[in-house]
Amino acid sequence: MKKKVISQHHHRYHSLTRLTRFYQPIDQTLQLEMRFSRLLRDGYVYRNPRNKTHAEALIELDRRLENKEPLGLPPDIRKTASSLSIIGFSGMGKSTAIERILSLYPKVIIHKYPLNIMQVPWLKLNCPNDGSPKTLCLDFITKLDSILGTKYFKQTLKRESLSYLIIYVGQLARAHCLGVLVIDEIQHMLTAKSEVSSSMLNFLVTLVNEIGIPIVLIGTTKAKELLQVNFRQARRAGGHGEFIWEPMKKDDNWEVLIRSMWRYQWTKEKATFTSEWLNVLHEESQGIVDIAVKLFMLAQSEAIETGEEKISTKMINKVSKKYLPMIQKMLSALKEGSIEQIRKFDDITPFNTEDFLLQREHTVNMRDIVAREKEIIEKEKRKSDTSILQRVILTLMNLDIESKLAEKIAKKVINENKGITIKEAVSRALTIINDQQEKVEKEINNNKNKKRTNIIFKIVDNGRKEKLSAHDSLVNKGLMIAPFSDKNLF
């Protein structure tokens, strides 16, 4: 039973991590899906594999690989594609949104007629930490192998020059009719040396302008200026441009998000949803979804740890300051609307919720164990008290004391004297019962005397009305004997 109770606490506590997978589409998600859908389909218009230009491009790329020539397709083959950049603070849900959209499309489509082609509608990569285009090319080939089951990576090991890899990536993208290349964490280019960063941007522009592969770039606000200046040539190619992922406003979308999240409560007592929760969560998160979800999760963690088992708005304020101190300056900048201050921040959510819960698990375990031990002690105590109570009642009943009175007095003695023995309890109970009986008898005697006194006063008072003395009135009523009379009193 003990293991079962603790296990239940574990299940509720570990269930909190489910909130890290919580997702609710909003208007921005739908707008992004429309842009991505248009970008993907527009990119295939000039890359129909049944057209001769498709075969000509593959032949030209193969020739350049063999002759070690730089990448570049003739104008009659080259068709410029479009690009889309998604910019916003970390924690806004950019990557999650694009991954949800990508999940609507298959990773690979196998065509057998009229052409035998393994089509790859999309491929998502993370920009390397060093911002190196060579590393990105190798990641591209590795990811393609994992999707298609091919061995392109082994074929490139002998030729690892950047120029070769760029042409090879372009050839593979064309051969498998890559629909869109998605590159996340593009701000990593800022940490690279200027020549490396420029090389990466030139590579991306080449993919768009020379190979005709649409690209989606995802990054934080720090990458915005870099993309605006250096990626302008590729951005001009289409009308998709930038998609700025802004913090959520306190509107219908925000209410939909919080209401959807509200069902995921694992405390024993569920908090009721009110408009106050909308205000508090928006104030503490400034509309950043990741922070709002983390605060909701941390509040439940706090409630389970402390034993309160119900979240409150005050608890949201408390956990925000207690567990997310690093983002308070960022949130203050957002509240004030200070652009200069906001620019100083990039990654505003350096907080791993799973690690946090793992570290705090010991606290929950100890609290559960202590609570369980207290419960066991209390049950044993109640059991012991019940046993003593029964024996005291039976003893009193054997002494010819009425059962209800015996039960009432026994409960009173045991409740007022914790840890009392049976012998002491019976003794005190008998003392109380005897005192009560003596008190009752005394009251009965007092009432009799009072009744007699009241009768005499009444007789005397009535005699006075008839102008009789007190003596004569009592004699007439037979309560007194006249002097020298032979009558008996009463």
pLDDT in tens, 97-123: 999 999 999 999 999 888 889 999 999
214: CATH = 3.40.50.300
Mean pLDDT over the full length of the chain: 77
pLDDT band, residue 70 (cuts 50/70/90): low
Peptide bond into 133 cis (omega under 30): no
Question: In degrees rounded to 5, what are phi and psi of residue 469?
Answer: -75, 165
Residue 260, pLDDT score? 92
| Spatial distance between the Cα atoms of 269 and 285, rounded to a whole number of angstroms | 24
Cα 469 from chain centre: 97
Tell me: do 62 and 176 sit in the same domain: yes
What domain count does the chain have? 2
- Least Cα distance to 171 among 53, 47, 39, 65 occurs for 65
Choose among 166, 186, 177: nearest CA to 242.
Answer: 186
User: In whole angstroms, what is the distance from residue 77 CA to residue 209 CA?
Assistant: 11
Same domain, 271 and 321: yes
Same domain, residue pair 274 and 310: yes
DSSP class of residue 250?
S
Nearest to 464 by CA among 474, 455, 454: 474
Contact present, 487 and 481 (Cβ < 8 Å):
yes
Tell whether 96 is covered by a domain.
yes
Q: Which of 245, 268, 287 is the last residue of a domain?
A: 245
pLDDT of residue 59: 79
pLDDT, tens digit, for every residue of 386-402?
577 777 887 777 777 78
Give the H or E element holding residue 181: strand 180-184
For residues 149 and 262, state if they share a domain: no
Specify whether 196 is located in the same domain as 86.
yes
Residue 126's nearest CA partner among 136, 137, 118 is 136
Check whether residue 82 and residue 188 sit in a common domain.
yes
Domain endpoint, select from 351, 375, 398: 351
User: What angle separates helix 289-306 from helix 275-285, to the nearest 10 degrees?
Assistant: 110
pLDDT at residue 276 above 90?
yes
Q: Which residue has the tokens 């946090």?
A: 356
Are 138 and 150 within one domain?
yes
- Whether 254 has a pLDDT exceeding 80, the answer reads yes
Give the max Cα distance, the chain.
164
Residue 208 placed within a domain: yes
pLDDT per residue as tens digits for the range 149-191:
998 888 766 567 788 888 888 889 888 999 999 999 888 877 7
**Shared-domain flag, residues 119 and 220:** yes
134 and 149 belong to one structural domain:
yes
Segments forming the whole domain that contains residue 45? 27-245
Which of 193, 223, 245 corresponds to the end of one domain? 245
* Structure tokens given for 322: 């207690």
pLDDT at 328 > cutoff 50: yes
pTM: 0.66
Taking the CA atoms of 263, 267, 273 and 276 in sequence, report the sign of the dihedral they define.
negative
In a shared domain, residues 214 and 269:
no
Q: Which of 99, 43, 29, 31 lies closest to 215 in space, CA to CA? A: 43
- Which pair of structure tokens corresponds to residue 57? 């491009």
The tokens of 112 are what? 């057998």
pLDDT attached to residue 238: 41
Indicate the helix (H) or strand (E) that contains 236.
Answer: none
Residue 349 and residue 220: Cα distance in Å, rounded?
12
Residue 259 pLDDT: 93
CB-side exposure of 245: number of CA atoms within 13 Å?
27
Predicted local distance difference test score (pLDDT) of residue 5: 42
